[in-house]
Chains A and B, each alone.
Chain A
Amino acid sequence: MGAAAGAAVERPRRPLVWRRVRSGSVPYLLVLPVVAVLGAILAYPIYRLVRISLEQYTLFQLRTGGIYIGLHNFDSVLHDAIFWHTLLRTVVFTAVCVGATIGGGTLIALLLVRVSGWVRILVSIGLVLVWAMPPVVAVQVWNWMTNVQNGVLNYVLTELHVGDYFGHNWFQTPFSSLAMAVTLIVWGALPFVAITLYAALSQVPHELVEAAQIDGARGWRVFKDVTLPVLKPILYILTSLSILWDFGVFTQVYLLIGQPAVVPANYVMGVYLWEEAYISSDYGRGAAISILMLAIVAVMSVYYVRRMVRVGEVE
């Protein structure tokens, strides 16, 4: 870059100015429509969100409009013990989901490289089918499988003599309820990670692997020193995306546990937000919570985004 610019300065010519202006503004012109669309569909809602978060806005204000109360909503949320407990629970929940998704996805991707052609096709079809299933339908299937009375899970575990699971309630405690939600979320997220990583694995140069093997490296060592560095940029992207998705997850947790069993002890942030905003009809507090969530998730993913950008720069 520097050398090219230097060369240009040495031979100043008139059209160059125009060329420069043009080449400088073209990228901006190209990006303008996107910025305009994003501004229209994102900026206004965000402006409204911020405004409502600074207002007393409940059922009473739906007709009359909100009343400005400054930072009171944020203050009340940050002094709510449920918020802090939920936040901690959600961070752990997210870590488990993301860890299991990325770990499991990597293993499946590595498996796909090794297996024969038709097995790969079968596994890929399976993955795509999982991916194609809407979360609401998946929740229904999970509910059937884990049903106390007639669930196939209890039946199979009992028949296999794993233990007496007759009439076992998989949603007895907050921990077990959330564990069931984790299985559902990880199951649904695996295909995307596995398929993306499989594609990335095809970028690992064969020569490098062979060279490492000639040098005596085996299995784990080859993976760690040859495969992993190539996968890294993709892993950063997948991890930061998974954090974003899992931290704000709502559908699977809320529907699987079910409204009658949703209590502060099993809240995750998405559910907490829903309960405060829509069930208690306190839209001001709800807006404050969603802004806090945005800030938290931004902080959580900053590490990965920075690594991602750095990887991009090196390349």
Chain B
Amino acid sequence: MRYRVLAVVAAAVALSVVAATTAQSSRAAGHTLTVWLQVDAQNGWPQVVAAANQAFESSHAGWNVNVQYQSWGDHLQKFDATIAANDTPDVIEMGNTEMTKYMAAGAFSNITADKSQFANSAQWLAGLKKSSMYNGKLYGVPYYAGSRLVTYRTDLFRGAGVKKAPKSLKQFESDLAKVKAKHRSKGFTPFYMAGTDWYSALSFVYDYGGSIATFSHGKWHGALASKKSIAGLTAYKKFFAAASPKSAATLNEANPAPYTVFSQNRTAAIFGPGWFSCCTGKKYTKVTGQFVMPSHKAGKSMPGFLGGSDLAVPAQSGSQAEARAWIADFTSTANEKALQAVGNIPNATNLLNGTVNDRAAQASWFVPTAKHWVDVENGNILRTMLGQILTGKLSVKKAAQTASANISYTLNQP
């Protein structure tokens, strides 16, 4: 009896070993292209990924695509580990502000010569293209962008007698004052913005002609303490004080998410990525509208931060040509249009079609393309400055000077 059991166990083990080896050998026969995309694609446009994979696999017999979804919080640390282990993916999605450091480190392949392989590459969005270039060479393919909009409650604005989207910052301020006068319940503010949300706040700086840093004579110069930047920061402070909750001065946009505040009926307007309209709450879906943030100059829009993603081929990938081919399939005109249909901005100007998103993309700003920019971001230099300004801990000038000096130092590190 015991022997029989043993025999059965031995047979099972033998079978599973055989199964494992055959599985391995059948896998070895095909080639696998490993692609790292952010979870946004998994949640928002899985059909685009599937279409690209299908196109690629049908033109590359014997290949299959293994898409691994990553999260923004830790994908760079994971990527660093694969670089050290010489086991990088073949394609990686990078946030446009993350590109420069890796291009400078030689982590990505130079694809300048292959540019024409990608659809609409002559009309790529300037903001995204800029983030893919380093020392005049191309290291990435623009994937999609997202601009910033004001998402607002149409019923509350109308109820306060505001019928049209504001044409200037001043008019927007007076509109918000009207909404405030009408709704005086505790915990409600006409506008909600996390005070240290620098992507939104620094739009004021660019609106007034200022900037974060400029490059000249081979060095970066922090520019937040310039006259124009200070004018922008002062305007931001005034705008925030008039319409936003005081308690949000040192908060960031991750916690609480502005759309959560919106969905809980605690505000009439929020400022952030266009996709915020997704999550304004079931009750308010029908009364959610969007417009482009107005400039202090009447009739113009405030330049918005152009966030977005690029696709790059790590230099250590053993399947360079296939990686480029997959990117070309993924960023085809049809796929970019599909991305546009779900509320993103496509990667080329010839695909823009006048939606509120696309209009917002026309006036935009982007972070300095310095290899140490990521350190400014992760060091939270801008957030610290904004918190100091809004709480009044430091004067606008003093806070801007400190941040500016910090930025110059960080960007000019060897």
Contacts and interface: CB of A to CB of B under 8 A. Distances in A.
Interface stretch (B33-41, B201-209, B254-262): B254-262
A148 B251 contact: yes
Q: Which 9 A-B pairs rank lowest in CB-CB distance, beginning with the nearest?
A: A260-B252, A167-B247, A59-B105, A62-B83, A279-B378, A62-B84, A60-B105, A263-B380, A169-B247
A263 B77 contact: no
Contacts of B251: 148, 169
Interface in A208-235: none
Interface string A46-79: 0000000000001110110000000000000000
A76 to B, nearest CB: 11
A58 B372 CA distance: 12
12 contacts: A58-B105, A59-B107, A60-B106, A62-B84, A62-B105, A63-B86, A147-B255, A149-B264, A167-B245, A168-B247, A259-B378, A260-B252
Given A60-B106, A169-B250, A260 B196 contact: yes
B250 A172 contact: yes
Nearest to A56: B414
A166 B187 CA distance: 8
A23 interface: no
Interface in B76-111: 77, 80, 83-84, 86, 101-102, 105-107
B153 interface: no
B80 A259 contact: no
A150 interface: yes
Contacts of A63: 83-84, 86, 106-107, 315-316
A251 interface: no
A280 B375 contact: yes
Given A62-B80, A63-B83, A258 B254 contact: yes
A149 B247 CA distance: 10
Contact of B250 (A60, A171, A278): A171
B359 interface: no
Given A149-B187, A275-B379, 20 more contacts: A59-B80, A59-B102, A60-B106, A62-B83, A63-B83, A63-B316, A143-B255, A148-B248, A166-B187, A167-B187, A167-B245, A171-B250, A258-B255, A260-B380, A261-B196, A261-B250, A262-B380, A264-B379, A278-B80, A279-B375
A93 B266 CA distance: 36
Nearest to B84: A62
Nearest to A149: B256
B186 interface: yes
A281 B104 CA distance: 13
Interface of B: 73, 77, 80, 83-84, 86, 101-102, 105-107, 186-187, 196, 245-248, 250-256, 260-261, 264, 266, 315-316, 375, 378-380, 383-384
Interface range on chain A: under 10, 10 to 19, 20 to 34, or 35 or more?
A: 20 to 34
A35 to B, nearest CB: 29
Count chain B CB atoms within 10 A of each CB in A148, A260, A280 and give the residue with the most. Answer: A260
A70 to B, nearest CB: 17
Interface string A112-155: 00000000000000000000000000000001000111100000
Given A59-B107, A62-B84, A278 B77 contact: yes
A62 B255 CA distance: 34
B105 A263 contact: no
Contacts of A275: 378-379
Contact of B384 (A62, A166, A263): A263
Contacts of A166: 186-187
Contacts of A264: 379
A129 B247 CA distance: 34
A134 B155 CA distance: 44
Contacts of A172: 250
A192 to B, nearest CB: 29
A261 B247 contact: no
Interface in A222-269: 258-265
Contact of A263 (B80, B248, B383): B383
